[in-house]
Structure 1
Amino acid sequence: MNRSSFLKKSGLAFGLAFTPSIATSNSISNLINLKDKLKPKIVKNDQGDILNVIGDIQMHKISGSDTNNQIAEWVNDVAPGVGIPPHVHTLEDEIFRVIKGKVELMVDGETTILEAGDIALAPKNIVHSWRIIGEENASMCTSAFPAGIEVMFKELGALPPGPPNFEKVAEICGRYGISFL
């Protein structure tokens, strides 16, 4: 049998062998159903829900309600010295993409300086923290998947202004699977 015949016959056999299982596969059905539920969304640079989360000014662009709880994404604008102490997420992974400024990021005990264009992944169950360094505000686009953390940020954003009550912050975060070290 020549190569062309073999590829045609084996491709057809492979396709026929797996077509019934693919057609009835839950994962394919879930993808089709998900596509039907999700609606396109365009969010301009100056659009989003603004939250002041203990000094971290966040503009939420995409939430779980937009993505069937797959992902949430926000952009922040943070002054030098502001940061989040070492903590662990048990429910979501996070991706940090620096848009401007300098961010000192610690993930799993390794600290690095991120600048515009740099990206870092902080998987769930891994200790991480960040702090804005330098002389200018920094901005990051953060994605969390699955979604849900944005609900916690709304609760934190509703706390009274002024120095945060760390016990209250830790209690709220704990309800969303986040603990501080």
Structure 2
Amino acid sequence: MTPFDTPAFSRSGAGTEAFAFGRHIIRITAEQTGGSLGCFEAEVPAGEGPPFHIHEKEEEFFYIQEGRFAFWCNGARVELTEGAVICVPRGSVHRFQNIGQSTGRLMVVMTPGGFEGFFPAVAVRDRPSVEEICQIGEQFNLRFVFDAAEAA
């Protein structure tokens, strides 16, 4: 991995697209930051968002670029709009959903980095099953929570 001793940046309009669970644009990779962080943009259609899940080793920072989102984290719920930020602690049961009327956009920073590779890993599969997605998730310290008691 490259040492993180020079700035990591992504110019406007740059990044690598991955079409998995909507459009994701990988802006900065763990490789560019010596593993310190990864950064991506997510375009989330109205009504969409991931199921409850846990990042076992990463904190997650969201900046709402556009739209209206609800976030659930360890039983708490908050609604946020454009310009707001939220940080989700590692190990927390959380999810988000676009509760607006149009596609929303999020900038997401994960620390340490590496999770940004999840979306390209899923995108190369042709219609992966839930089981396959969960297996890929495990490679990126991601666990989906399908047990209602654990998600509460």
TM-score by length of 1: 0.74
- State the distance in 2 between where 1:152 and 1:42 align: 20
What's the CA shift for 1:158? 1.2
In structure 2, the residue matched to 1:48 is 15
Number of corresponding residues? 143
Identical columns (%): 22
- State the distance in 1 between where 2:71 and 2:111 align: 19
Aligned 8 A contact 1:52 1:157 in 2 = yes
**Residue 180 of structure 1 is aligned with which of 135, 144, 147?**
144
What's the CA shift for 1:74? 0.8
Q: Which has the higher contact order (CA 8 A, sep 6+)?
A: 2
Q: Which amino acid aligns with 2:100?
A: G
What's the CA shift for 1:38? 2.9
Taking only aligned residues, the RMSD between alpha carbons, in angstroms, comes to 1.4
What's the CA shift for 1:42? 3.6
Gaps of 5+ in 2: 146-152
Q: Which amino acid aligns with 1:179?
A: R
**Residue 67 of structure 2 is aligned with which of 101, 119, 123?**
101
1:96-115 deviation digits (Å, cap 9, x = unpaired): 11011011111111111110
After TM superposition, list the pairs within 5 Å mapping 1:6-155 onto structure 2.
37-55=4-22, 57-155=23-121
- State the distance in 2 between where 1:72 and 1:157 align: 18
1 or 2, which has the higher helix percentage?
1
- State the distance in 1 between where 2:123 and 2:89 align: 24
Runs of 4+ that moved beyond 4 A = none
1:16-74 deviation digits (Å, cap 9, x = unpaired): xxxxxxxxxxxxxxxxxx5xx5333442221101111222x111111111100000001
Gaps of 5+ in 1: 1-33
Q: Which amino acid aligns with 2:115?
A: I
In structure 2, the residue matched to 1:169 is 133
Q: Larger Cα Rg: Structure 1 or Structure 2?
A: 1
